[in-house]
Chains A and B, each alone.
Chain A
Amino acid sequence: MEFKHPYLPVTKEIESEMLNSMGKKSLEDLFGNIPEDYRLKRDLDIPTSKTELEVARRVQELASKNKSADTGRVFLGAGAGIHYIPSVVPALATRSEFLTSYTSYQPEISQGMLQTLFEYQSMMAELLGIAVVNSSMYDMATGLAEAVLMAARVNKKRSRFLVPDTINPVHLQVINTFAEPAGITIEQVGHDQKSMLLDLADLRSKLDNQVAGVYVENPSYLGFIESQVDEMSRVVHDAGSLLVAGVDVLSLGILQPPGDYGSDIVVGEGQYLGSAVSYGGPYLGVFGCRDSMKLIRQLPGRLVGMTRTSNEPYERGFVLTLVPREQHIRREKATSNICSNQALVAVTAAVYTSTLGPEGFRHLGEIIAYRSHYAAKQLNKISGVTAPAFGASFWKEFVVRFEGGVSARMVHESLLKRDLHGGKILTEEYPEFGESMLLCVTELHSKTTIDELVEVVRNVVTNGGGTR
């Protein structure tokens, strides 16, 4: 019997008709160039075709083996953010015309996507306090790696790059993957043991005319706010290096934008802007720089520019621009190999950002600050628990330390039993912190749930792991 499938509109009968029209007898005539030796002479070892209903059932079966974090009972952050997504966001961003288009190579019929991406670039620029934002990188980690490469292209004769030793360790790993073949050395700058802030003396001692750029994370991976940014900016620029800032875009309703403290290149994670955590991807590398042609010419990724029609009456329009930086023109001399990016996630971020507006960003920043501090204060009341474990100030995430023979793992397991999920366990990566966990509190975490979390922790610490 003929195999029919909804995705395949050519029936056997039409197939013959098409073959006849080109003077061919069978499909085999079209595959004659593939040598016999390289033909697969068996069926693929892949299950047979399923109907849509069967596929839906299989997906549900897999999904039900997971525990969804949409309950507001998961206190994880560490580079992926669980936030509320207003209903307009997915409804608009996944409209089929956005979803199923390619890169806007034909601007005449792609003004919708181009204008949306221009608006994305523009709104991110406002949030970050910087002039230029590209139309997306893969995620913050790869965005940062590209920022390191870009800094070394701008400062051509320099091949060292400095990062704080409190950097997100995964970001450090990704940077190293990209920097090593480019001949760039990544070096770590120490921190003050108590405040965790960057050790400015160490920074000064490491800065010289070989340093292409210096990275500042704000708030840092470990949650604390790096408050010495103005001083860092001065020191870094005096050495002729670039300041690269990595920020939490959601914090920018209340925290100082990186453009204001002189950042030359800015990166951030745009998943927080209306995209689900989705087990780590697709995310959005927000990537921007100052309004300087020296920098802009070295930018990786696609840029949408505003222009007008060539002839009167002039009409405003949008196009992909500064294309000669890119791989399809410049090939091995391109500023990056990036081709497919995260455009739809940028569209999502554009809808989210326009939905929140300035008032929403400020309010969200405040809610998160209040709730995370509430959680820390309640945890800190427990004897044997320190929260935050260090740092003068924090916004969304903080490290909590457990003492008195209670391990972070025990706390984690006890929370899981109560259908709660604690923060990322740091004990192995940061043995110097002792038994510790990186907690993340957002607008999704109600006071009730935070109280519940605190109660479980209190029980574990008080009873040495036994819960009621």
Chain B
Amino acid sequence: MIVSPRTSRFKLFVTRITSLAMVCSLTLLIAPPANAQKRGSSSISSKLTQLVNQRSNIRVLSAFIEVVDTPSKSTVEILRDNKRQAIGTIVDADGLILTKASQVNLVMLKGELAPLVCKLANNDRHEAKIVSINKEYDLALLKIDVKRLDPIRFTLQEDPMVGAVLASTALGDKPLGIGVMSAASRTIKQSRPMIGVQLKDIVDGARVESIVSGSAAKKAKLKIGDVIVKIDMKQIKDTQTLISTIKEYQPGDIIRLLVKRGEEQLELLCTLGEYSSGPNQARHEFQNHLGGKLSSRRSGFPMVFQHDTFLNPEDCGGPLVDLDGNAVGINIARAGRVASYAIPAKVLPELIAKLMLDAESSEVSTSSE
């Protein structure tokens, strides 16, 4: 119950300022202290927006230039239509790049998707292909046709100690963000996927009765009265089939809905959200979203550790390094207002090896066809 959801920033500051005034006057009433207002009188809101003392201000980030010098050469930006989708980590000199799968693996209903492009530290751009995916960890392996890249150096240590100072690398000379190790590696349970509709059984499917605001259904432009006929390849007979079908997916998955709207049949793409129930959880979710967007896939990881670097969803997929410039993990999700998750270095070699094997075997099967 940190703050009521409706308290806007502005309102909050106003109340704080008034309460400050109130307490000061009270203090004066009780016993006039020597210095009732000892420090500067500029308003709290202006102080919060001032960058000068923030932990990630430019002067602090500049101290990390030496730290990220080497690992930033192993970092790429992954673009589509010139817009950054994610950060990538070079894991192989011959053009293999690791990134967050759900940020780059999109589907389109019609037409061609613009190709993925990797922008390297030297500003070169290369078209990239997804060669394999690990759904469990939401990792994708990309291939670009370039040789002699600088692969990232992973640390050999166990997880960083709680309190370790960490930097997330970017293409520039300064890090994308900095933070500390917040909590040791653990399993993050899969939260249930949610589409966000209330349904009613009708003769030949499930009819949408209401749509939760801000939900996956809303974003997919589903409308009240639509009858959901099919999800991907699965025929939807009734509400029950729809619920059990959705349960087989993960939040962040994109599903293809076949919908009957009046006489029309249309296809919609819908990115599943995370399930939240009851006002308490809804409030927590609300607070979690204060301060920035979260990754659509942010739960269900077999092993991740938590750090407090402020990241955007499109900042995930890149290296997270310690003060020696060695990668301690790969950022995999912006999970909440206070939490970013990283896959620890200790599990990465095995995951990378597996992704490479998968890439190879799929290549073999396509070439033998």
Partners in one complex: no
